[in-house]
Amino acid sequence: MSDPGSTAVKTLLWLALFVATGCHRAERVENRANAASSAISASLAQRTLSPPPDVAAPPAGARTFESGLATEVITPGDGLDHPSGNDCVKVRFTSWKRDGTLFSTSTVQDLPAVECLSQAMPGIAEAMKTMVVGEKLRIWIPGRLTFQAREPDQPAPHADLTFELELTGILRAPPTPVDLKMPPKKAVRTASGLAFRVLEKGTGAEHPTQKSRVTIHFSGWKSDGTLVDTTQMTGHPAIFSLADVMMGWREGISHMVVGDKARIWIPASLAYGDVPLRRKLPAGPLVYDIELLAMDDER
């Protein structure tokens, strides 16, 4: 029989990771919780996570929003900029149900949680857009602005929640191109339906082949402007075997030389399709900005 204290810790970590990672598949989060629970038991036992006295409802002086959200500044920040759009943030948080029951917390982790606005609870995203670095808010979120259903077989658990959230950093997303919906006339179109445009010309002379391994920086968007993936926010390029990437990348990168920066418009048929086989993959046409940093032939 499992130890009740250990089970509670696993549950608490599961909830923290559920919020912090934008509701990733439960089985993946549970595996991480199981691996970490024994290491955090002693630390969690020493922490005081009592609910605030006004956990049940915002006080009269709280800032209210048309959406039903309410916030109150606990600690003013010293930053000047607000997160927006596709930005991600570093945060520390604790949340409770309105009866004072602890719901989730990032305090079981030594480092701040990373949350992207596009993947956050709508109420959290709305509140974070008002914050500056160093600021700590108490946030009262109605159930309709908490979890959203991301998959048909995983209904959203709606519950009114109260958060205390501190913004410790902003991870700026790359600028969103203005021509996502349609490539410009000067773009080169291929017979497959792909289009590309060289934004900055490189100095290389050779083109990658399917046997090449490439080092790239990239950012990708859906046609509605949603950022689907990027290396720019981490500062670390990615390395791929060209034979293993989506067909649109394979074709587009094959037109590039080292040093090129190109924008590639990829139809759904050359990306992940209109109904991807894996649920977390983006559907429909995609646009990527790719910089080819290096290439070599795999042996």
Q: How many CB atoms lie within 10 A of CB 115?
A: 27
How high is the mean pLDDT of the chain?
Answer: 85
CA distance 112 to 107: 8
CA proximity to 90, closest of 116, 118, 122, 120: 116
Q: How far is C-alpha 90 from the geometric centre of its chain's CA atoms?
A: 11
Mean predicted confidence (pLDDT) in 34-48: 47
CA angle 83, 86, 27 (to 5 degrees): 110
pLDDT at 119: 87
Q: Does this model's pTM top 0.75? A: no
Mean predicted confidence (pLDDT) in 218-224: 96
Q: Domain 4-171, what architecture?
A: Roll (3.10)
Least confident of 41-55, 58-72, 78-92, 273-287: 41-55
In terms of DSSP H, where are the helices of 152-275? 247-253
In contact, 225 and 259? CB cutoff 8 Å: no
Strands (E), 176-260: 188-189, 195-200, 212-222, 227-230, 238-241
Mean predicted confidence (pLDDT) in 78-88: 94
With 80 as the cut, is the pLDDT of residue 160 above it? yes
* Token pair 């993936």 in the structure block, residue: 229
With 60 as the cut, is the pLDDT of residue 24 above it? no
What confidence category does residue 111 fall into, taking pLDDT thresholds of 50, 70 and 90?
A: confident
The CATH classification number of 188-297 equals 3.10.50.40
Q: How many CB atoms lie within 10 A of CB 159?
A: 14
For the chain, residues classed under CATH 3.10.50.40 are 4-171, 188-297
In contact, 254 and 209? CB cutoff 8 Å: yes
What confidence category does residue 53 fall into, taking pLDDT thresholds of 50, 70 and 90?
A: very high
pLDDT at 42: 39
What confidence category does residue 149 fall into, taking pLDDT thresholds of 50, 70 and 90?
A: low
pLDDT at 8: 41
What confidence category does residue 195 fall into, taking pLDDT thresholds of 50, 70 and 90?
A: very high
Mean predicted confidence (pLDDT) in 246-262: 97
